[in-house]
Chains A and B, each alone.
Chain A
Amino acid sequence: MEFLRPASWEEALAVKAEHPDAVPLAGGTDVMVELNFGHRRPERLLDLGRIAELEEWEGDGPAVRLGASVPYTRIMEGLRPDLPGLALAAHTVASPQIRNRGGVGGNLGTASPAGDAHPALLASGAEVEAVSTRGTRLIPIDDFYLGPKRNALAPDELIRAVRVRRAGGPQQFAKVGTRNAMVIAVCAFGLALHPESRTLRTGIGSAAPTPVRAREAEEFLGGVLEEERCWDTGRPPPPSAARRFAELCSAACSPIDDVRGTAAYRRRAVGVLARRTLGWAWQEYRGSARVTEGVA
């Protein structure tokens, strides 16, 4: 095995172009497990730990450009106002030790349907910045997940950053597991309200071969919020609409039975999380200054 230690991003791209089989290594929370258990014996490891810009975020515009290796601890401590959904999800990742090492780039690279960042990225709207010596591609998050542990990266590409739309409204994240810490999600749900476009987006984790959005549920509830003038008045959607939203979120799942839970449980639990997160998010929206009830 070769341990490649590029000192710069440009060097890392050159190495990846020359050795597309090289396995990128950042926080190590996935790759090292596979090495420790002998599940994987790559010819080459590509350590990204020396590339400082991967651990930074930037952006005053409509999106935050989040370096691929910014540890979850720093996301939850520093990005709560800008990326509340992702910050909430980051706080549910494993344990402090893991959050100190792991980052969103690794979650995307591994592309496990259970990765905690995915529902938040789907709900807030993100683009993956995939870079090779050939150039930079911005892959919409909706096109990124191709199958269980398969993503849209080309063999010579590395993830430089993820560009996540700055929150324009409340965002929520909820996850089901047997305890608070050290849990791989049985299922997870992310919800983001986008009052600026009078839309909402969802993200479901661990309940389909890939992380998915519940598009029908989004369209249904978006229609109700518009019809009932909920965005203007701050009034919550009628309970029947919240129930239907939950049902449509359940219907968006195609889960399996596994050691962590059954398909039926996951489908049901996603609906419960959808209804709950909608309640929390709407309560926060209602409390925000945007609402013009009594004025109009």
Chain B
Amino acid sequence: MMRVRLTVNGRLREADDVWEGESLLYVLRERLGLPGSKNACEQGECGSCTVRLDGVPVCACLVAAGQAEGREVVTVEGLAPEGELSTVQKAFIDAGAVQCGFCTPGLLVAADELLDREPKPADADIREALSGNLCRCTGYEKIMDAVRLAAARRSAEPEGDRA
């Protein structure tokens, strides 16, 4: 068993008694009380556990807990301050892109990263950025609408006023 220290959503966190073969996803959900990242396939197929590791979107289920030591993780809980919603989150609600909601956290993290990288994405960019996130309610059209809406709203917002 080991201790893992990492920064999650801007706060230094510590998890004890971590099993050496444990995933970052398990640490987030079961040890740090952050159940936003969903546990589904555990093999990197579905994207519902997508988090940012040092800024880069990854499947938390495929990162060993020990590999996250000393690194920065952002989960869906970190997209907006407590009690508020980010532009991407609001756009998902407004566009009706949430059905059962299980895939939503991973999609939000992936979409948020896309818009950081590419503020005016073409449809092909959106499809590629979300190609590792499965929605089994098959709501992809609404999800596309939501990302387009978020992109439009973010580019209309003044710089620095962006949740």
Give the interface of A toward B (CB within 8 A).
1-3, 5, 25, 27-29, 32-33, 35-37, 41, 45, 47, 49, 94-98, 100-101, 180-182
| Bound Cα distance A180, B124 (Å) | 12
Contact A25 B58 (CB under 8 A): no
Known: A33-B42, A41-B21. A100 touches B63 (CB 8 A): no
Other-chain residue from B62, B69, B110 in contact with A28 (beta carbon distance below 8 A): B62
Known: A94-B44, A98-B132. A45 touches B59 (CB 8 A): no
- Of the A-B pairs whose beta carbons lie under 8 Å apart in the complex, a sample of 8, sorted by A's number, is A32-B61, A33-B42, A36-B61, A95-B47, A97-B50, A98-B132, A100-B57, A182-B134
B23 within 8 Å of A (CB atoms): yes
Contact A32 B62 (CB under 8 A): yes
Number of interface residues of B (CB under 8 A): 29
| Bound Cα distance A45, B64 (Å) | 10
Q: Nearest chain A CB to B53's CB is how many angstroms away?
A: 8
Contacts of B129 in A (CB 8 A): 96
Contact B19 A1 (CB under 8 A): yes
New contact pairs (9) apart from A33-B43, A97-B57, CB-CB < 8 Å: A3-B20, A5-B66, A28-B67, A32-B62, A35-B23, A45-B66, A97-B110, A101-B62, A181-B132
Known: A36-B61, A101-B63. A182 touches B20 (CB 8 A): no
| Bound Cα distance A22, B136 (Å) | 38
B122 within 8 Å of A (CB atoms): no
Known: A1-B20, A94-B44, A98-B59. A182 touches B131 (CB 8 A): yes
Contact A96 B131 (CB under 8 A): yes
Q: Nearest chain A CB to B113's CB is how many angstroms away?
A: 9
Contacts of A25 in B (CB 8 A): 64, 67
B156 within 8 Å of A (CB atoms): no
Known: A1-B19, A28-B62, A95-B47. A180 touches B67 (CB 8 A): no
B128 within 8 Å of A (CB atoms): yes
Contact A97 B23 (CB under 8 A): no
| Bound Cα distance A270, B64 (Å) | 37
Contact A3 B47 (CB under 8 A): no
Q: Nearest chain B CB to A147's CB is how many angstroms away?
A: 24
| Bound Cα distance A98, B64 (Å) | 14
Contact A47 B67 (CB under 8 A): yes
Contact B23 A45 (CB under 8 A): no
Contact A95 B43 (CB under 8 A): no
| Bound Cα distance A188, B56 (Å) | 28
Contact B67 A49 (CB under 8 A): yes
Contacts of A36 in B (CB 8 A): 23, 42-43, 61
The A-contacting residues of B in range 115-145, CB under 8 angstroms, are 128-129, 131-134
B2 within 8 Å of A (CB atoms): yes
Q: Nearest chain B CB to A136's CB is how many angstroms away?
A: 26
B16 within 8 Å of A (CB atoms): no
- Identity of the chain A residue whose Cβ is nearest the Cβ of B39 in the assembled complex: A36
Known: A47-B67, A181-B131, A182-B131. A97 touches B58 (CB 8 A): yes
Q: Nearest chain A CB to B59's CB is how many angstroms away?
A: 5
B14 within 8 Å of A (CB atoms): no
| Bound Cα distance A47, B21 (Å) | 11
Contact A96 B110 (CB under 8 A): yes
B45 within 8 Å of A (CB atoms): yes
| Bound Cα distance A182, B44 (Å) | 9
Q: Nearest chain B CB to A59's CB is how many angstroms away?
A: 25
Contact A94 B132 (CB under 8 A): yes
Contact A32 B50 (CB under 8 A): no
Other-chain residue from A1, A37, A49, A95 in contact with B132 (beta carbon distance below 8 A): A95
Find the residue from A32, A49, A180 having the highest chain B CB count within 10 A.
Answer: A32
Contacts of A33 in B (CB 8 A): 42-44, 62
Contact A101 B58 (CB under 8 A): yes
The 9 A-B residue pairs whose C-beta atoms are closest, nearest first, are A95-B132, A181-B131, A3-B20, A1-B20, A36-B42, A32-B62, A3-B66, A35-B21, A33-B43
Q: Nearest chain B CB to A88's CB is how many angstroms away?
A: 15
The A-contacting residues of B in range 35-60, CB under 8 angstroms, are 42-45, 47, 50, 56-59
